Chains A and B, each alone.
Chain A
Amino acid sequence: MYTLLKLSGTLKAWQSRYCCADYKECARFKLSADNRRVPINLMPNGAYLRSNDKP
C-alpha cells in the first residue's frame, strides 16, 4: 500500500491523517494487529479500492 500511495501522489494525505495521527483507527493497522491478512486494496479508512470506484 505504501508504494501505491507514493506512486499515486496521495501518500502525505493518508500519512498525516492515519500514520502520524490516529494510527489505531487505521483499518489496515487493526487487521494487522489482529494477525489477519491485510488486503492490498484495503484503505486506512476501511474502504476497499475497486476498479469501478467513483468519488
Chain B
Amino acid sequence: MALWSWWLSSFALAAVPIAHWLFLNRAVAVSGRYSALIDRIRFGAPRDGSGEMDQAALLEALRAQTAADFGDDAIEETEPSGESVDETIVRSPQGSIAHLLFLAGLALGGAASAMLAGSFSLRGGLNGDVFASVVGQLGIPAPVLLLFGGLCVGFGTRMAAGCTSGHGLCGVSQFQTGSLVATAAFFGAGVGTSFALGALQ
C-alpha cells in the first residue's frame, strides 16, 4: 500500500481543521459529534434557548437572575476587561443532520482515498499483521475485539473531553495544556502498545 509522504500528510491534516473553521466557524470534533448525536437520541433536542442569546443578553439575564435570588447588593461593579465568552459556547448547537453528514463524510473520504490508492477492500478481520498475530493467540473473535476497542475509545474520549481530532488537531494548535497532555497520552500509548506487541510477537 502506497503511503502519502509525511509533508503532504501534514498539510492535509492541517487543512482539515482550518477548512472546517473557515466554512463552519467551528472547531473539528469527531467524538463531540458522536456525543451530540447520542445526547440528541437520549434526551431529545435541547430546549434551553441558549443559541438565541448573545453575550450581552446572557450577562443582562444573569444579573437579573442574581438580583432576584440574592438581591441587588450581590452584583459587584466590574470594569471592562476585554475578556469575552468563547463564541462557540453561546452559539446554537448543530442539528443531527449536520453531524450525520460529517460522519458520513469521514467514511466516504476514507473509502475514496483507499480506492484512489487501489487498496480498497471490505473485510471483517483485524488490520495489522502484528496485532492480528498477537491477539489471534487469545482466541477471541475479531468483532468482539473491535467492539471492545470501540468501547475503550468511547470511554476515553468522554473522560478526556475530546479525541485525536479535537485535542490533537485543534487543541494542540491553540497550545491548550489539556490537549497537549491528552495528545501526548494518545501517542505515548500508541508507541507503547506498538513496542509491547513487537515484544509479544
**B residues within 8 A CB of A9?**
63, 75-78
Q: Which of A8, A17, A37, A39 touches B63 (beta carbons < 8 Å)?
A: A8
B50 touches A10 (CB 8 A): no
Which residue from A6, A12, A36, A53 sits with its C-beta under 8 Å from B74? A12
Q: Are A45 and B69 in contact (CB under 8 A)?
A: yes
**Interface residue tally on B, bucketed by range:** 35 or more
Interface of A is mostly: loop
Task: Point out the residues of chain A lying under 8 angstroms from B36, CB to CB.
Answer: 37
On chain B, the residues within 8 Å of A14 by CB distance are: 66
Residues of B within 8 A of A53 (CB): 61, 64-65
26 contacts between A and B (CB under 8 A): A3-B84, A3-B85, A7-B59, A7-B84, A8-B59, A9-B75, A10-B70, A10-B74, A10-B75, A13-B66, A13-B69, A13-B75, A37-B39, A37-B46, A39-B48, A40-B58, A40-B85, A41-B50, A42-B48, A50-B53, A51-B52, A51-B53, A51-B60, A51-B61, A53-B64, A55-B67
Listed in ascending order, the chain A residues whose CB lies under 8 Å from chain B are: 3-10, 12-14, 17, 35-37, 39-43, 45, 47-51, 53-55
